[in-house]
Amino acid sequence: MDATESQDALAHLAWQVELGADEAILDAPVNRFELPQAAAKPSPAAPPAPAARVATPAPAERDEGQAALAAIDDARRRAEGAGTLEALREALAGFQGCDLRHGARNLVFADGDPRARVMIVGEAPGREEDLEGKPFVGRAGQLLDAMFGAIGLSRTAVDPAHGLYITNMLPWRPPQNRDPTPEEISMLQPFVRRHVELADPEVLVLMGNWACVGLLGRKGIMRMRGNWEDVLGRPALPMFHPAFLLRQPGEKAKAWADLLSLKARLRGDT
């Protein structure tokens, strides 16, 4: 092969490489459908995947859950053992299961006449209630007094027929007025239910979402308000909380309709 032929061969080879040919042609054809002997053997089965592990609560979570259940049982025993309202107050004051007590100034138990036909259950004490030890004081309390005064009911009335008796789902103020937790509602519910049983009102008024959660097991005050329910064998009327009405004065017309419904119920019209 002379120099010219050699250069031509190199040029053709370079052209083949550029086209993607990267291996030489063998002397014999290769059957690429025939697997090598080693590859034809079945590969060993893959080990089974480990069973999914069920997440178990951390020890701290288990301890907190057990403590909450123990607190609920203790609350139930204390509440059931109280035969009078004063005994119930003492039982609540001695209840150590709720941490809210440590950040509150006062236990807010009740206000008004326990003989009243109407018992109001609110949500939780605010700053003014915590300072005074009474439910519904300050601006919200003033609005509540005006609302029920418009239908002839008052917490200071001498006649129980025109009186009000007032309490809350929580007797201690939550920090920064935050919403109650489900655990707090569950452990304090036995005291509220016993409170209703001992006061034995003719009618209950549930003011706000958390009163409905505690005594009806659900919330949604925008759709629940004005619809009569049954709580512990007596009629119960969900209503807007006065604090909500202070923020949303346009809803006062609905609150007035609910008050008229309550007045009609007390007159025996419904």
- Provide the pLDDT for residue 132: 96
35 pLDDT above the threshold of 70: no
Rounded mean pLDDT, 82-105? 97
- Provide the pLDDT for residue 39: 46
Which tops the pLDDT comparison, 2 or 77? 77
Q: Band of the pLDDT at 51, cuts 50, 70, 90? A: low
Strand partners, 207: 239
4 pLDDT above the threshold of 60: no
Residue spans of alpha helices (H) in the chain: 3-19, 37-40, 59-81, 85-93, 100-103, 127-132, 138-149, 182-199, 209-216, 221-224, 242-247, 252-267
Euclidean distance between CA atoms 226 and 203, whole angstroms: 14
Which tops the pLDDT comparison, 63 or 27? 63
- Provide the pLDDT for residue 269: 79
Note the Cα 96 to chain centre separation in Å: 22
> How many other C-beta atoms lie within 10 A of the C-beta of residue 39?
8
Q: In terms of Cα–Cα distance, which of 165, 163, 232 is closest to 194?
A: 232
201 touches 265 (CB < 8 A): no
Q: Band of the pLDDT at 66, cuts 50, 70, 90? A: confident
- Provide the pLDDT for residue 20: 55
- Provide the pLDDT for residue 2: 58
224 touches 238 (CB < 8 A): yes
- Provide the pLDDT for residue 216: 97
Q: Which two tokens stand for residue 138?
A: 């300050």
169 pLDDT above the threshold of 80: yes
Domain extents for the chain? Answer: 62-267
- Provide the pLDDT for residue 38: 46
Euclidean distance between CA atoms 66 and 45, whole angstroms: 45
Q: Give the chain's mean pLDDT.
A: 87
104 pLDDT above the threshold of 80: yes
Q: How far is CA 88 from CA 5, 106, 166, in A?
A: 114, 16, 15
61 pLDDT above the threshold of 80: no
191 touches 88 (CB < 8 A): yes
Rounded mean pLDDT, 219-224? 96
- Provide the pLDDT for residue 67: 84
Share of the chain above pLDDT 70, in %: 77
- Provide the pLDDT for residue 22: 57
Per the CATH hierarchy, to which homologous superfamily does domain 62-267 belong? Uracil-DNA glycosylase-like domain (3.40.470.10)
Q: In terms of Cα–Cα distance, which of 145, 114, 136, 148 is closest to 263?
A: 148
Q: Band of the pLDDT at 47, cuts 50, 70, 90? A: low
In this structure, of 62-71, 146-155, 173-182, the range with the lowest mean pLDDT score is: 62-71
The sign of the dihedral angle between the CA atoms of 265, 268, 269, 270 is positive
Rounded mean pLDDT, 41-51? 54
What is residue 225's DSSP assignment?
T
Amino acid at 51: A
